[in-house]
Structure 1
C-alpha cells in the first residue's frame, strides 16, 4: 500500500492507469531515461557502476562516463576493445531494473508494443522479443565495420572472453580482437554509429513496429513515452506527437523528470508527468493492484 501526499501527482498516476486500462492498443517509446530511472546512470554520469567497473579507464584516459569512453579516440585497437569488453559486460550482466519489471506487470494482458532507442537489452529480459523494436541497435550483436555483408553475429561470449584477458595496461591481445569472417576487417558493436548496419535486422525492427501501428491506428491507442530527452527526439517523441495529432482516438502520455513536454496542439490529447519514472511506474503498479489510500 502507498500513500500519495501530492494530490495532483496522485491524479496524474490514476489518469495514467485509466488510459492504460481503457486503451485498445499501447505503444511504449523508451529511451535512456528509462534505464537511468533503473539506476543505470553511468552512460552520462560518474556513478558507482562507472567507478567500480571503469575506474581504471577513467584514470588512464580522463573521461568520466561510459558514453564518452565509447567515443574516445584510442591509440590502438587493443585499448579500444578492452574498453568495449569491460563496458559491455557491465551493461549486459547488470540486473534487470525494477521499472522494467513494473512496466511489464502494468501492461499484462494488454495489446502493446515497445519501441526503444536503448541498446542495453533491459527490455529483452522481461518482454517477448516479438513485442520489441530496438531501432538503434543491440549490444548483443557484432557487425562488420566495413558493412561488407548483411549479417549480425552474437557478441556476448566474445565480449566476456575479452574482458577476462584485459592486461594491466588495459589492453587485450591483438589476436583476440574479433574480425569479420568475410573481409577480415574488425567487427563493430551493432549500435548507432557512423558505420551502423541498417540491414535486414534493422528493417525487421521497423517492420514489426509499423505492422503494429497499421493494425491499431484506428483504435483507441495510447502512446506512452518514457525517458526521452532532447538529444534525439526524432526517433520516438516527434513521431508520437505526429501520430497523436493525426489519429482521432490517440492519446499521448510522457513521463520524464526533466523533459516531459506536451505541445500546445496536443493539450487536449496529452499528459506530461514531471516525475521520476521509477516512482511513477511503481505507484501505477500499486494502483493497478488496488493498493492506494
Structure 2
C-alpha cells in the first residue's frame, strides 16, 4: 500500500477504537525539537564540548566528571534545557488532539515531562524511566524523590567556568550524601510512591481494555529498551484479535509478521504524521 492509504487506515483504526495506549520513545520528543545532538547541543553546551570533547547530550551524561561541581554544572544545564526551558510544542499538542477525547493512557520512556506540560491528564501518564524534574539520593538511602526546579535554576545561573559553587551541590536530606537525577540508569533508580501509583494505574487500564477494540500507538520507540513498550505492544496485539498496533517512526517503522494484518507502520516524521492523521 502507498503511504497515503496507510495513513488513512491508521486514522480510521484510531477513530474506531474504544481505547488507546500511547507508547512514546525519544523519537517523539526529537520530532518536537528536543534533540540531543547537532545545533541544539552545540548552542547550549559549547564549553563542555571544548573541554570534555563530548559529542551529544546522551553520552555527556555518562562522562566521568572529576568533581561534583563539574558534574552538576553539566547536569543542571541538561535538565534545564530538556525539562524546563522547552516543551513539546505543536507535536505534543497534535497528539493530545488525536487521543484526548478517547479513553487513553500514556506509557513513556521519555523523562522530559512534555506530556504533562502539553495538557495530558497526569493520572493517565506513566514515566517508566524517571523524571528530569526530580532528585534522589545516589545510594539511595531511602525511597523518596525531590522537586529540583529551584535548585537547577540556581545552578544554571550561578555556574562559572563549567562548575557550580560548592554550596549548590545537591545533598541528600537524610544521609547527607550526593544526589543524582531520578533516572533509570542502573540499579539505584528510586521507584517512589508516585511512580508506583502510576504503574498500577497503567496495569489497571490494560486489564480493563485488553479484550476490547484497543489501539497500541507506538511513537518513536527505538531498540534501546524494547522490553518496555515495543515487545509488550506486539504481544498484547497478538493476544487480542480486536486490537491494532500503529507504529510511527522515522526509519524504524515495522512490526513482526505475526501481527502484520493488525498493524499499520508509518515511516516518517512523527509530527507530520500526527498532523495528517488529524486531518491537517
Q: Please report the TM-score for the alignment, with normalisation by the length of structure 2.
A: 0.96
Question: Any conservation in 2 of the 1:82–1:172 contact (CA below 8 Å)?
Answer: yes
Matches within 5 A, 1:57-136: 57-92=48-83, 93-126=85-118, 127-136=120-129
List alignment gaps of at least 5 residues for structure 2: none
Q: Distance in 1 between matches of 2:87 and 2:242?
A: 37
Question: 240-249 or 74-83, which moves further after superposition?
Answer: 240-249
Q: Distance in 1 between matches of 2:214 and 2:14?
A: 9
Q: Distance in 2 between matches of 1:250 and 1:96?
A: 28
User: Aligned pairs, how many?
Assistant: 277
Q: Distance in 2 between matches of 1:282 and 1:183?
A: 49
List alignment gaps of at least 5 residues for structure 1: 1-6, 288-293
Q: What are the Cα deviations for residues 57-112 of structure 1, in whole angstroms up to 9, with x where unaligned?
A: 11110012100111100011100000011111111211333211100111131111
Query: Aligned with 1:13: secondary structure?
Result: helix
Question: Any conservation in 2 of the 1:35–1:97 contact (CA below 8 Å)?
Answer: no
For the pair 1:231 / 2:224, whether they are aligned, the reply is yes
Q: What are the Cα deviations for residues 136-191 of structure 1, in whole angstroms up to 9, with x where unaligned?
A: 00111111111111111101111001111111x21011111111111011111111
Aligned to 2:45: 54
> Which of 18, 26, 41 is the aligned partner of 1:32?
26
- Deviant stretches of 4+, over 4 Å: none
For the pair 1:191 / 2:183, whether they are aligned, the reply is yes
Query: Over aligned residues, Cα RMSD in angstroms?
Result: 1.2
Question: 99-108 or 23-32, which moves further after superposition?
Answer: 99-108
